[in-house]
Amino acid sequence: MRKNKVEIMNDVHPKIKQFAESIKSKILSSKAPVIEIPIRSLNNVEFNKQKGHFTIKGRMKKRVLAASTSRSFAQTMRMLSLAKQLIESDDIATKRDAYYTAYNWLEAGFKSQQESDEIMDDIEAMLFTLREKLGFIPDEKGGDVVGKLVVIDEDEDKNIVKVDCSKMGTGAFSVPNSVEKLKFETKAKFVLAVETSGMFQRLVKHKFWDTAQCILISLSGVPTRAARRFVRRLSDEMSLPVYVFTDGDPYGWLNIYRTLKVGSGNAAHLNEFFCAPRSQYIGVTAQDIIDFDLPTHPLKEVDIKRLQDGLKNDPFVHAHKDWQQNLKLLLKLKKRAEQQALAKHGLNYVITDYLPKKLADHKTWLS
């Protein structure tokens, strides 16, 4: 088992040594060592139409060792060393574990977990790898899954475990942190990703997955890497379309849906794996607010900003006319609507009318 793992990690381990070696020789030749890290932000990604997701533009930030950078430089080096130890001992550490481990570094320790997360993201980007491959795993879980799906997993003793997601009772299958080893069996026609767990509960309660022959997944906010990877593999390997159902507001659109479909600006080098380009947006759209006469809330200042920023800076919006129109319409309405606003027409209106209507009419979808 141990051997196996080291083999898997083999490509990262030499990368770390190689990097340390280059820093060492730079120092010994009396030159200030430099770390180059891809810039992790929206303006360093572009929307790649062919691949269907964000790709990194390749702008790098240089961290030259100087008095003012000496702290973060030292932390980066020590974090790398910790990763190397994790790989060698076949162990894992969550982000929070790593943060606490750094208490032993005394003055080089982190003031907050945010600081240690940043350094971790830096290393991940710098080595063009997955932080899971460095032995660092996320604290948060993926999403909840119910529906026409059997997940084939194996436990620590390598026994095959089959989980039937249609037989979860009132509970749900929870997407694990690492989904790479999972295999699937399904007869579903599509995957339906839902923003709120409230809506998810309603759909599960009334067995919407059964009537619609689908797999339901609850995103609970911006989807985790694992959830994105899980959806991606389902859609790729099982050839399933992915439909996304969120609140009709900028957060649901530009944070949740856009990240699921094309990835984020923050870990752009990983978007290749962590997005589901075959996703399509079914609602709630700005037009739905009008068509379904939904109860609304006024747009907050931050919402308006987010919409304007999206129109101006988001490469995904730039590449999709229908999204531009959608954002503009919402700006014009100056209103937003939640998924649960559909309950105005009856608690189960969403199951009996809204979803069937929307699923049947792909012209109302957004790309």
Residue pair 221/195 in contact by the 8 Å Cβ criterion: yes
Q: What binding mask, one character per residue, do residues 81-120 give for another protein by CB under 8 A, x or -?
A: x--xx-------------------x-xx------------
Coil, strand or helix: which one is 59? coil
Q: Which one of residues 12, 42, 80, 337 is an interface residue with another protein (CB under 8 A)?
A: 80
- Smallest gap from Cβ 26 to another protein, in A, equals 9
Q: CB 351: neighbour CB atoms within 10 A?
A: 19
Residue 94 is encoded by which pair of tokens?
A: 């969550």
The β-bridge relationship of strands 93-94 and 136-137 is parallel
Residue pair 96/113 in contact by the 8 Å Cβ criterion: yes
Q: Which one of residues 3, 4, 62, 67 is an interface residue with another protein (CB under 8 A)?
A: 67
Pairwise CA distance, residues 189 & 100, whole Å: 45
Q: Which one of residues 8, 11, 27, 308 is an interface residue with another protein (CB under 8 A)?
A: 27
DSSP 223: P
Question: Is 100 annotated in the active site?
Answer: yes
Pairwise CA distance, residues 283 & 77, whole Å: 46
Of 109 and 356, nearer to another protein (C-beta) is: 109
Q: Which one of residues 8, 10, 17, 346 is an interface residue with another protein (CB under 8 A)?
A: 17
Residue 71 sits at φ, ψ, to 5 deg, of: -65, -55
Q: Which amino acid is at 217?
A: I
Q: Which of these segments, 24-32, 38-46, 163-171, 306-314, binds another protein (CB under 8 A)?
A: 24-32
Q: Which one of residues 2, 3, 4, 28 is an interface residue with another protein (CB under 8 A)?
A: 28
- Smallest gap from Cβ 108 to another protein, in A, equals 4
Active site positions, annotated: 100
**In the complex, which residues of this chain contact another protein (CB under 8 A)?**
16-17, 20-21, 23-24, 27-28, 30-32, 65-68, 70-71, 73-75, 77-78, 80-81, 84-85, 105, 107-108
